[in-house]
Amino acid sequence: MLNLVIFGAPGSGKGTQSERLIDEYGLHHISTGELLRRHIAEGTELGTVANQYISQGHLIPDDLMIKVLEDVLDSNPELTSKGVIFDGFPRTIEQAKSLNNMLDKRGTKVHAVVGLEVNEDDLIKRMLQRGKESGRADDNIDTIRERLNVYHNQTSPLRDFYINEGKYHAIDGNGNVDNVFGSIKKSLKEKLG
Ligand code: AMP
């Protein structure tokens, strides 16, 4: 049983590598970005609120985001008993502390954090390409720049947080999908056996 956090800047390949990790380790997947986009598509109250932040490239406030995640864990108790990959959560120190508490209450913990490290020019290129292919509304140049600012200011401090916890696996995320996945597997194997 393994709870993983996949961590990295927007466009670093979290979603793509999550799919590979799910196949390899049989994990469940919680992507907070996908969850919010589903709410927006369905026109729920949460979707309406979330859209105001997502369209600006800003983070949903911690108290709301933490409650959304706690609701997901409460209504799907099998998630934490079989192992989860957390994709896009946590994004702030506050969220990381809450995740530790939420998992602690359920008798488990974050076992490892996979940190995808990709240079900034490539992040922008990848997101612009994804915007063309998927029509994702926040993959336009102005929102991308804001999301990268938000990442540097609010999310990147998590790297040190998880290094201090001895859980951070730095992965060079610049290569192709197969090579990056190979590095992840090697790194997790060394740590987790
Ligand atoms: P993603 O698909 O992970 O890139 O997330 C898309 C957008 O959803 C982000 O730019 C945020 O506006 C919002 N979002 C997703 N996860 C979180 C989170 N953990 N905390 C706050 N906002 C989030």
Residue tagged active-site, from 20, 106, 130, 185? 130
pTM: 0.95
| 188 within some domain | no
pLDDT digits (tens, 9 = 90+) for 178-187: 999 999 999 9
List, in order, residues 6 or more apart from 88 with CB less than 8 Å away: 14, 31, 32, 33, 34
Q: What range defines the domain where residue 39 resides?
A: 4-180
Residue 14 annotated to the active site: yes
- Give the pLDDT of residue 79: 87
pLDDT at 80: 83
Pocket of ligand 1 (CB under 6 A): 10, 32-33, 36, 53-54, 58-60, 65, 88-89, 91, 95, 138, 147
**Number of domains present in the structure of the chain:** 1
Residue ranges of the chain with per-residue pLDDT less than 50: none
- Write the pLDDT tens digit of every residue in 58-96: 999 999 999 999 999 999 988 888 899 999 999 999 999
Residue among 91, 95, 155 to mutate when testing ligand 1 (max atoms within 8 A of CB) = 91
Residue 61 sits at the vertex; the CA angle it makes with 142 and 84, to the nearest 5 degrees, is 95
Strand (E) or helix (H) holding 12: none
Residue owning the nearest CA to atom 8 of ligand 1: 33
CATH of the domain at 32: 3.40.50.300
Instruction: Indicate the pairing of strand 168-172 with strand 112-117.
Output: parallel
* Domain assignment present for 190: no
Residue 109 inside a domain? The answer is: yes
Q: What is the pLDDT of residue 127?
A: 95
Decide: 114 and 85 in contact? Cβ < 8 Å. Answer: no
Residue 25 lies in a domain: yes
- Identify the pLDDT of residue 193: 66
> Does some domain include residue 57?
yes
Would 187 be classed as within a structural domain?
Answer: no
